[in-house]
Structure formats: C-alpha cells, structure tokens
Amino acid sequence: MKSNRFFLFLLLFAVAAPLEGNDRPNIILLMGDDHGWEETGYNGHPDLRTPVLDEMAASGLRMDRFYAGHPSCSPTRGSVLTGRHPNRYGTFSPGFSLRPEEITIAHLLSASGYACGHFGKWHVGTVKAGSPTNPGAMGFDTWVSHDNFFELDPPLSTNGGPPEIHPGESSAVVIEETIQFIKRARADEKPFLAVVWFGSPHEPYSGLPGDLAIYDELPEKYADRKPVRLTSNETGRPVERPLGEVLRERYAEITAMDRSIGTLRDFLNTQNLRDDTLLWYCGDNGTPPSGVLASPLRAMKGEVYDGGIRVPGVIEWPSRIPRGRVSETNAVTSDILPTLCALTRTTLPNRTLDGISLAPLFDGYLTKRPQPIFFWSFDTRRNNLAERKPWIDPGLQEGTTPLVKLSGGIPTRNFKNFHHPGIEDDDYRGARVMLDNRYKLVVHDGKNEGSDPKRELFNLRADPGEKEDLSTVEPAVLEGMQKSLHDWQESVLESLTGADYEK
C-alpha cells in the first residue's frame, strides 16, 4: 500500500507541476506501418539505416519495452486514439472500424483549444465525407488520409473529398501535408496535435532509386534464403519473390520514412518549435512474414509473442526530456491518450481505459508499471459476426481510396463493426496475454473442441526470446495471472456490448 501511495504522489506531482516552456505542448504522433522492434539501427539491425530514429533514440526517451496494443494494425490504431483495448469497441482486426460513440484524443484536445489534424493511413473506418468514423467525426479538424496503406504517389482524400493523387514518395507527401497544417495552426495561434500515420513500410514495397541503391547488395547477400510471399505491385495478388529483393525494397521504404521524420524535425527547428513539441514515434505491430530477417524476439506480426507486439518507441521533447535516457518500463499504445491528457491538463473521458499516464516516466520516476498490460486477438471465426446486426450502415463503411492490394477482390478497403448482444463462453476465446513487470502469460485455445487451452509462462526479463516455459515451475504465478486475465476479459466484453455508452 505504501508503494502505491508513493506512486500516486509522483503521478499527481507529474501532472500538477508546471511544465518547462509552453505548458500546452504541441504534439506529433508518428507511426510506421508494420515496423517491427528490431528494424532500427539503434536496435542493432545488420543492414537497415535509420539515422534520424537513431538520433531521436540517443537524444530523447528510448522505450525499449514499448508494445503495440495488438499484433495487427487497425486495432492498435484504435488503442492510440481511445486509450482502450480495441476489443472493447469491436475493432478486432484489420477491416473492423471504430464505433462512432468512442471518445478520441482528438475529441478531447480539440475541445481544449488544439488544432487537430490527421495525415496518412487511417484504417479504423472510411475517410470519405459522411462516414461516422472518418477523422472529422473522430475529432480532427482536418485530414489528408487514406482508408488503408499506400505506395509512391499516394491517392489521398482531403477532408472527405474524392481521392486525388499526391505525386512523390509517400512518407515525404504526408510530412509535407503535416508541415502545412502546422503553419496554419501557428497562424491561428493554436497548439496542435498532428497524427501522422505513414503507409510505410507495409507491403507491397516500392522505393525511390536512391533509397533502393543503398541496399543493392541484399539480393546477393540473402540469395540462399527461402522466397517470401507478398502482394504484387502489378496484379495486387499474392506472389513469391526472393527475400533479398523484397528486403531491398522494404528497407528503402523505412529509410525514406526515416528521412521524412528528419525533414519534420528540421522544420520544427527552423520555426523554433522543437523544444515545446512532443514528437512520439512507434510502430503498429511487429515485422510481417515478408520482412522477417533476424530478431531476438519470438514470432512476428499477427502473433501475441513479443515479435508480434513489441515495436520501436521513441519520444523527443527537449524542454521536458533534455537528455537521452533508456527506459525498460513496459508501455503500450493505449498509454498515449492518458499520457497526453495528463500533459495537457485535459480531463480523461468517463470510460474504462486500459492505458496509464506515462508522464512520470518522462522524468525518470516510473520504473515499474503499476498495472499489467493485456493483449487479446479476438476469435472472430467462431462468433458468427456476419450474422449480427451491423453497428454502422454498411454503405458508409465502403472505402473510396484506391489500394494496390486486392481486398476481397476489390482494390480498396471496406470496414465492418457489429452489435454484441450478450456475453457467451466462446467470446473469451482467442490468443490472449497478461504482461506484468516480470512475467508474461500466453494463452492459446485448444485445437479441438472442448480441449484445454495451452498456457505458457515466461520471465521476459531473463528470457526475452520466450523460449523457456515456466508454467509447471511457477504454477501459483500462472493461476493468479490466469484469473486476472479472465477478469479483464469480462470487463472488455461488457464494454463490447455497448455498456460504456450508457454511462
């Protein structure tokens, strides 16, 4: 109890204490698409060049145990916007939208006087005008966005209008739109929130000649590796290609994205905005199968082992974080909303949140997380979701922005969300995790109907590769975590029925 009171004191101090410089910091949230934890120079990648992210990691707050809220993109993006696990509002996997009743960080900061803009990949609903989950409906004043990911010369919708081609390298394009937004916010004398979600490095891959040339040696270097399966830029359908060729294109995208972040940082410098702007970069899930080369972490995108959910996490804010630090404290994308609310003195929404404020972490006070992090890939196959009542008119969920990758046979992305009328035993299924400061419990359902689930327990501090299952060595720990996990799932399912919207 004493340690809890001490943590509460530190938290209140961090929230109440006056900030250095501007007490209403500008905020830029950057997110790479399918950018895994190991894919940075500062994490020791053998081939990748990410000089800007490396510099940010050296000069700012490098979070070595930062997690995406889900092993896939749409759910993680929902967790950033809401501070809540995406299963609470039915954003189970890519192609599931938010619900219009959700309260986002843009709603909150817009009401507090911030100019709020979204740029790039949206992927939690359609971006067109009239959509109840487009960025405007979700609190943003302006947006230049895509329903899904995008390549060179991206087709983007401005404020819900018909998509138009924006010539250029895609990361550079969204950064230029962000810079123009910042200029307008400054002219209006408003602090700003810019959410910048790159289309890179999601497959299918492409790159500028100069960026591709950096990695010309990779096809020969990895000629002995098995081919990988990914989307063809020509047909939009799956194709197998040599790993080295694919990595050359993927790494060119990451390097271009890194460079565009440098362009943004340089702009902030020239406008004297750098000190009072919080710049937060992370990935949305682990490395996909088409990009896996070598990692100390287990598994990849789509899985709840650390290779699927642990991502790069770096924060720069010179007036609050004046020198480089490395944090080993567990943190997750659901923490972004409560953290920004604490830093801007904004009241939290009257909803069940899954994240916590990381404000004390900025000052080095938070070394152990006061509550666990939960992950859950909802089992959509066993719940007959298509037979349930749509939460949103399906016509409003039809995408408009063109997509190279065919989705359901069409070159765009449509979305869905469903009512969940009641809680059943099958609703608890799906790969799920409880992560505390030391242990990680992983539960997978049995392969056969009625069979017991597979439960694994890992000590991540001693075994980051999740190789040694301690479930039979630490049965008391396992059972206690199992109960906490089930209790949390029960809370999530209550939210899924819509109960939170009645408060």
Tens of pLDDT, residues 389-403:
999 999 999 999 999
Instruction: Record the pTM.
Output: 0.95
pLDDT tens digits, residue range 112-168?
999 999 999 999 999 999 999 999 999 999 999 999 999 999 999 999 999 999 999
pLDDT at residue 383, rounded to an integer: 63
- Mean pLDDT lowest for which of 282-291, 376-385, 397-406? 376-385
H or E stretch at 156: strand 155-158
Radius of gyration over every alpha carbon of the chain, rounded to an integer in angstroms = 22
DSSP, res 395: G
Fold category of 375-392+413-502 in CATH = Arylsulfatase, C-terminal domain (3.30.1120)
Beta-bridge partners for 120: 145, 197
Q: What is the mean pLDDT of residues 7-28?
A: 53
What percent helix, strand, coil does the chain show, rounded to 5?
30, 15, 50
Classify each residue of 450-485 as buried b or exposed e, where b means 16 or more C-beta atoms within 10 Å of its C-beta. Answer: eeeeebbbbbbeeebebeeebbeeeeebbeebbebb
Helix axis angle, 2-16 to 336-343, nearest 10°: 60
In 3D space, the residue among 491, 487, 454 whose CA is nearest the CA of residue 469 turns out to be: 454
From residue 369, alpha-carbon distances to 306, 308, 355, 437, 457 in Å are: 18, 21, 11, 6, 19
Please state the φ and ψ torsions of residue 163, each to the nearest 5 degrees. Answer: -65, 140
| Predicted confidence band of residue 11 (pLDDT cuts 50, 70, 90) | very low
pLDDT at 24 over 60: yes
Residue that has been written with the tokens 């299963």 in this structure: 87
Percent of the chain surpassing pLDDT 90: 90
Beta-bridge partners for 280: 29, 315
Q: What is the mean pLDDT of residues 242-270?
A: 98
Pairing of strands 155-158, 313-316: unpaired
Residue that has been written with the tokens 């959910």 in this structure: 309
Extract the runs of DSSP E, i.e. beta strands, from 191-283: 192-197, 228-231, 238-241, 277-283
Helix intervals (H) in 42-162:
51-59, 73-82, 105-111
Per CATH, the number for 2-371 is: 3.40.720.10
pLDDT at residue 9, rounded to an integer: 33
pLDDT tens digits, residue range 294-348?
899 999 999 999 999 999 999 999 999 999 999 999 999 999 999 999 999 999 9
Q: Are 396 and 382 in contact (CB under 8 A)?
A: no
Classify each residue of 421-434 as buried b or exposed e, where b means 16 or more C-beta atoms within 10 Å of its C-beta. Answer: eeeeeebbbbbbbb
DSSP-assigned letters across all residues of 36-67: -TT-STTTT-SS---HHHHHHHHHSEEETTEE
pLDDT at 45 over 60: yes
First to last CA, the chain: 30
- Per-domain residue ranges for the chain? 2-371, 375-392+413-502
Helix axis angle, 336-343 to 73-82, nearest 10°: 20
Positive or negative torsion for Cα 487, 333, 407, 299:
negative
